[in-house]
Structure 1
Amino acid sequence: MNGPFNIPLTAWLRWLLFGALGGFVALSALSALVLRDQIFQTFLDPGVPFQTYQRPPAPDYTQDEAWAARPDVRLPDEAGHPAVFFIHPTTYDGGSHWNAPYDRPQEAVEVSQIILPNYAAPFLVQDVELYAPRYRQASLYTFMNNREDSVLARELAQMDIQRAFTQFLREMDPEQPFFLVGVGQGGAIALDILARRVAPDPAVARRLAAAYIIESPTPLDLLAGPLSTIPVCTDPSEIRCLVGWVAVRPQETARIEALTQRSRALDVRGRLTAVEDRALLCVNPVLWTANEDYAPARLHRGAAAAEGLSLTDAPSPMTNQTGAQCQSGLLMIDQPRARALRRSGRLAEDRRVRSSNLFYMDIRANAEARLDTIRAVMADEARYAPALDAPVEVDVAPITPIDG
């Protein structure tokens, strides 16, 4: 007996079975591709509530091992230098911990070999010194969901950096300016430091060259609340102000949704709440303005893929790689021409920071300009006596004559 097209029935059934099996495999592969981030999440879940989780030991910021970078202790009579307080992004995916041990070797290598050369080095202009604390960073998993456990893990990371910043202020020359820089998770924590420690303290705020919140959403409503004393930087040489951007390509719809609909950021009450429906800050890192003007690629000073370089090595800049324009609180960029600057296909790529810095040379030139400005301003301010306190009314005391 023959099947369709005069093929023997057994052969026809065999081909039908193979076709069905092939279709099942293809459908399974497609489903795995579509749901791969969800599948990835299941492997990253620590599987224990945060409240009962055994937290890793806290870093002691009086010790060198608690810092990825820290200047040598200076002599008592040695003048201080400007500094950058740099908070690194997420480098730990998850699985065993809600918060990574601060001294895990894997994270130490990625921070020293990839993150610092790409994202901290651009700020090391003139004689700026680098302070980069290690901390019990919240895992990548905590940024892929809105569980209360994830919020608590992120708050633990914030508390570590609060203590690190206290030690930074103790060690730094109190008459020298500094940059506050955070990338990714570090950007969210830098925003917390800015709101709790810098904005309310005039003595610290006067030394702020600028704060850079990179690849982390910065809600504009904070500017009318805890950041009311820290304006947005609207000029390339403005100081004591705030810069922030999150770079996306218009085609990266999943990343845009993750940033604008499924992210958390500091709110006016100091809590991590949903970013959804909150307008976001965008300062264009090519023009250094907060408007929606388009910066063509010909103005782009240069990107860098500085992996493995020391902090004093100068990377080869890749110029004219991308145009950039702020739109609806996001920095819309063109696809970089160099493949080394493009996003990879890593799992959970929507939540990761690039392993290269698309605006390396732009940041470097801008940091130099702001440092020149704040040094000149602080030198000029030092020429004048501090403002007098408000007058105090004193009651006239009766005069009692002394018999003589």
Structure 2
Amino acid sequence: MQKSSFRFYCLLLFLLPLLPLTSCLRLLKPRHDFAHYAPAPVPDYSQASSWAALPTRHDSAHAVPSQARLRDQQATAEADVFFVHPTTYFWRGSWNADVGNCRLNRFTDRTTIRKQASVFNAAARIYVPRYRQATLFSFFDSTAQGNSRQALNLAYTDVRKAFQYYLTHYNQGRPIIIAGHSQGTDHATRLLHEFFDDDPKLRRRLVAAYLIGFRVRPREYKTIVPCKDSLETGCFVAYNSVATGNEFPAFSRVAVTNPLTWTTDTLLAPASLNRGGVSQRFKRIDPHVTDAKIHDGLLWVTPPKPGGYPRFLLPGEFILRHSFHIADYSLFYMNIRENTKARVRAWQLRTK
């Protein structure tokens, strides 16, 4: 694919609100069914190149906003985060990405790893696997062939393999934060089912899970429940940010945590509780950037005045107009950053 075409597909996610929906989806859809394509090689997680972030090298997860007085503290962190990045593969050349695609990897690193995974670098060592992520169209596909489910299952096999490698070779019994966004949260949700829900020993090491930007039910798990306050451990946080006043019945039974109060009540949390967002330019902390209120499975936010917090349209099964999906982390960057540190300390006190 030519460089100009790559840039087009990388920008398409941001252009969806501006283009006719059917046109967007035609541009995203792979030309053939899933079975037509030979999968890219399986990642080898013993190789550093199969990881977007490792605490032992300098990468995008070590970044902090350039004009903020923050610093990466992975070298001394006493916990780990296993972060599953969202969809950055928008191409129609296949249903799944190739982890050897250097151009895609650079895009992933300077966007989601730098602007999302970095939020955890004050509290934990960050591990982010590259994986054969499903293309964006997988979330809009409703055809009978099951292409999307096959693509997402293939992606999850990589995430699962990476997590197993992480547990065996990197974790060494340390407390764990599981986190993701969008497609990454879909896979992280499955990890919790498979590895934590029925394993009391591993579950005791779970500081919390940040399952942001996807649909997670309040009773998703048998043993893991939504966090009720800012210091509860072994629980999960979930929300989907949209502009105040929007409704979406398909989300009415979805778990929501208010990231300004870390509770599940429906009271409005004022913008004064917002410790600071970070815009797409990733330069400064914007204090009090927005308020937050839980409403019928959504997190209502007042659209921020500063630029750099884009709205988004999730079409198909996930139609959400005036969504701040892309900004789910950046609107509450400092609140998440400080909360992860507080939960790690709380976990340490409870396990002494």
In structure 2, the partner of 1:140 is 136
**Counterpart position of 2:331:** 358
In 2, the alpha carbon distance for the partners of 1:170 and 1:333 equals: 41
Distance verdict in 2 for CA 1:174–1:33, change over 3 Å: closer
Specify whether residues 206 and 290 from structure 1 end up closer, same or farther in structure 2 by C-alpha distance, changes over 3 A only.
same
The corresponding residue for 1:195 is: 193
TM-score (norm 2): 0.82
Structure 2: runs of 5 or more not aligned: 1-15, 58-74
1:353-392 correspondence to structure 2 within 5 Å? 353-354=326-327, 357-378=330-351, 380=352
**Structure 2 equivalent of residue 175 of structure 1:** 173
Give CA-to-partner distance per residue, 1:65-121, whole Å, 9 cap, x none.
110011339xxxx99941110000001113101011122223212221121222111
- Secondary structure of the 1:283 match is coil
User: Which is worse superposed, 321-330 or 146-155?
Assistant: 146-155
> Could you report, residue by residue, the CA deviation over 1:144-167 in whole angstroms, capped at 9, with x for unpaired residues?
222311111111111110101001
Q: Deviations over 1:309-338 (max 9, x none)?
A: 6xxxxx521011111111111101111111
Q: Which has the larger radius of gyration?
A: 1
1:250 CA drift (Å): 3.5
Aligned residue for 1:341, secondary structure, equals coil
Equivalent residue for 2:236?
242
Secondary structure of 2:334's match?
helix
Aligned-partner SS, 1:170: helix
Of 279, 296, 305, which aligns to 1:305? 279
Identity of aligned residues (%): 30
- Report the aligned-residue RMSD: 2.7
Instruction: Please give the alpha-carbon distance, in whole angstroms, between the structure 2 residues aligned to 1:160 and 1:145.
Output: 21
Letter paired with 1:294? L
Query: Per the alignment, do residues 355 and 84 of structure 1 end up closer, same or farther by CA in structure 2, a change over 3 Å counting?
Result: same
**TM-score, structure 1 as length reference:** 0.72
Q: What CA deviation, in whole Å up to 9, does each residue of 1:120-145 have, x standing for no partner? A: 1111124x211000001111111122
CA–CA distance in 2 between the matches of 1:79 and 1:335?
37
1:271-290 alignment to 2 at 5 Å?
279-290=253-264
Q: Structure 2 residue aligned with 1:117, among 80, 105, 114?
A: 114
Q: Distance in 2 between matches of 1:179 and 1:369?
A: 12
Are the aligned partners of 1:302 and 1:320 in contact in 2 as well (CA < 8 Å)? yes
2:266 pairs, out of 292, 313, 327, with 292
Give the 5 Å matches for 1:123-272.
Answer: 123-126=120-123, 128-147=124-143, 148-222=146-220, 227-250=221-244, 256=248, 261=250
SS in 2 for 1:203: helix
Q: 1:161 to 1:235 in 2, by over 3 A?
A: same
Q: Deviations over 1:214-241 (max 9, x none)?
A: 111112242xxxx121121101011111
Offset of 1:252 from its aligned partner? 5.2
CA distance in 2, matches of 1:304, 1:50: 38
Aligned counterpart in structure 1 of residue 31 of structure 2, from 34, 39, 47: 47
Give the counterpart of 1:94 among 86, 91, 96: 91
Contact 1:336 1:342 in 2 (8 A): no
SS at match of 1:155: helix
CA distance in 2, matches of 1:35, 1:283: 32
